[in-house]
Amino acid sequence: MADPLTSSSPSPDASSSSSGPPAAPGRPTRRGVLRAAAVAGALGGPLGTVISGAAPASAAPAPAAAAPPELPAQLTAHRAPYINWAGEITHEGLWVCAPRSGQDLADLANWAHANGWRLRARGKSHTWSPLTVTPATGPDARVLLLDTTEHLTAMETVPAPPGAAGAVRAQTGVLLETLMAFLAGHGLGVTNTPAPGELTLGGTLAIDAHGTSVPAVGETARPGHTYGSLSNLILSLTAVVWDADRGEYVLRTYHRGVDEECEALAAHVGRSLVVEVVLQAGEETPMRCLSRVDVTAGELFAAPGSELAARGNTFADFVDESGRVEAIWFAFTDRPWLKVWSLSPERPVTARKVHGPYNYPFSDSVPTTVARLAGRMVGDAAWYLAPALGAAQYTVAATGLTATLAADLWGASHHLLFYLRPTTLRETANGYAILTRRSDLQRVVSEFAGFYRERLAAWAAAGRYPVNGQVEIRAGGLDQPAECAAPGAGPPLLSAVRPHPGHPEYDCAVWIDVLTLPTTPGAPEFYRELERFLLDTFDGGHALARVEWSKGWGYTDTAAWDDEEVIGSVVPASYGSERWQRAIGVLDRLDPHRVFGNSFTDRLLRG
């Protein structure tokens, strides 16, 4: 077996509206980072390059500190700033090291246990959530960040099991974009990936990252593919775990369908360190992506059986036709940007062939008009410009699709599925997966859209604009064991799209995110109102709401991840208490000293 060398970080996505503790002197605050972005926006600069994983120009350098910790295996640590995706969790300097091998990671775990430190895999810091680093983490906290992207990126194809077209062994510091290009070079691919390619494999697996796909009407499942999350592709994994007999942390490999540990580690929400995985893959099939901006929100999100729904342009209609749909609905507009992907072995005559990912340049770098509006809203507290920002974003999308000949694209699947660069507008987001029956998909979409539109209008009538970004709606499959090539496989225990044993009729999920600029007044309060609607409406009848680990949830009127009822009761209940406790029991047994975790995961994943 290749040496396991990277880490499943709890990185990818959860949104924070929490203001966090007061900043230490010289420490870059979220508002400071965003004000720097506002200045760039006013000058027409790329807002996304300011709110990024690198320290903003306005941030003070990391303070001088005591001598760095003495690490094992000739590893060295240095201070580096930490800034998450939307700039809401910032630290002027935490200790970071770059492990070179899986054994380095085991040695670090033993060092951390002996010296009272905790380890967090940093990946690319593409996260909204406190699963990696919490806002309250001080610069001198005994937290060591692990940069898995420098050395832990090896990949190789391995023999495929029956039922899959191929398989790959990969260290989890590799970026998704790199991994998918490697697979494509061997004629292989996957059905689902998130939109950004600059995410570590470890981070995406830690939070069961997803794409958007269900079978189109008449579509037959392809060997090696899954309509569920990336975690459902795991055949085996190697993690750093506690060996009670030896009294130390070691590397150990677990196999799907054989070892119960694999089901817990496949989506561990930051409570472990997975260093290498073997993933199944299917044959690569080129895709077509059609974009439309002419279908009204009224039609797309129409109630089933209504006159508008009868026109045949509902979200569910497009899902039935192609199986792969995303709606991006800009605030205060009535025509979403609709993307419809479909399997297309041959290039349609009208489609433009693409030769790489990120084919929407008008959204990759923030246009001047959008940057200036965002800059005024954040820098001058001109939040009343939210309708203008929504209109500008729609106009940019509508004109950009035409100007760049991007309305009809064809090419390799990963070239079409990756479309979000780090230079895009950085927004905060909430996130939920609504499990339901395929026949109720449009009902769920319509119920959400109706409530969102009514509440947004009511807040605006009161002179308040808590949302100025977009709603993103996708439909995906569940983590069905039958789609895994490992005999006897069970679904990942903590995957948001784990099938619910009490509701075998649920066969798909509606993914819902609502985005807004960080620091927007009233955003947590609005998100709380929306969350309560989702939890009350989709309570296990025709649908069931689960939180999306990588986004914002558990809202109070002032902060995300702060509602103890949601954290302590609602979330566990959505999985079933027996399975929730089973997952926690395995994770606690594999890391009884909680080397892998932080104060937030301590609150969330407690027995």
State in Å, rounded, how far the first CA of the chain is from the last one: 34
Query: Of 35, 126, 225, 268, which one is the catalytic site residue?
Result: 126
- Rounded mean pLDDT, 37-46: 36
Name which of 154-158, 195-199, 422-426, 589-593 the model is least confident about.
Answer: 422-426
The DSSP letter of residue 158 is E
Q: One of 284, 326, 427, 548 is an active-site residue; which one?
A: 326
Asked about 505 being catalytic, the answer comes back as no
Residue 126 pLDDT: 82
Question: Can you tell me the mean pLDDT for 351-378?
Answer: 93
pLDDT tens, residue by residue, 441-490: 999 999 999 999 999 999 999 999 999 999 999 999 999 999 999 999 99
Averaged pLDDT, 207-222: 96
Q: Is the pLDDT of residue 335 over 80?
A: yes
pLDDT of 332 strictly over 60: yes
CA–CA separation, 276 vs 72, rounded Å?
Answer: 21
Residue 90 pLDDT: 86
**Structure tokens, 315:** 């979200």
Which pairing describes strands 408-411 and 352-353: parallel, antiparallel, or unpaired?
parallel
Residue 529 annotated among the catalytic residues of the structure: no
Tell me: pLDDT of 492 over 90. yes
Dist. CA 601–CA 605, nearest whole Å: 6
Model confidence at 35: pLDDT above 50: no
**Range with the lowest mean pLDDT among 59-73, 213-227, 319-333?**
59-73
Task: Summarize the confidence of residues 500-508 as an average pLDDT.
Answer: 96
Contact 555/526 with Cβ under 8 angstroms? no
321 noted as active-site residue: no
Cβ-contact 204, 194 below 8 angstroms: yes
491: Cβ contacts below 8 Å, ≥ 6 apart:
228, 232, 263, 478, 479, 480, 481, 498, 499
What pLDDT shows up at residue 569?
A: 96
Region 368-394: mean pLDDT is: 94
CA 60 – CA 38 distance, rounded (Å): 18
**pLDDT above 70 (res 93):** yes
- Confidence class for position 65, pLDDT limits 50, 70, 90: low
pLDDT above 70 (res 87)? yes
Of residues 125 and 584, more confidence is placed in: 584
Q: Does residue 126 carry a catalytic annotation?
A: yes
pLDDT of residue 501: 92
Per-residue pLDDT for 139 more than 90? no
Tell me the pTM.
0.90
pLDDT for the residue 92? 87
State residue 603's pLDDT score. 95
Residue 107 has pLDDT above 60, yes or no: yes
The residues facing 81 across adjacent strands are none
Q: What is the pLDDT of residue 519?
A: 93
pLDDT of residue 331: 97
User: Which of the following is catalytic: 414, 443, 474, 500?
Assistant: 474
Structure tokens at 106: 């085991």
Q: Tell which residue, 65, 74, 86, has the closest CA to residue 15.
A: 86
Asked whether the predicted pLDDT for residue 204 surpasses 80, the reply is yes
Average pLDDT, the chain: 90
| pLDDT above 70: residue 14 | no
Cβ atoms 419, 357 nearer than 8 A: yes
Residue 9, pLDDT above cutoff 50: no
> What CA–CA distance (Å, rounded) separates 419 from 296?
23
Spot the catalytic one: 92, 177, 472, 483: 472
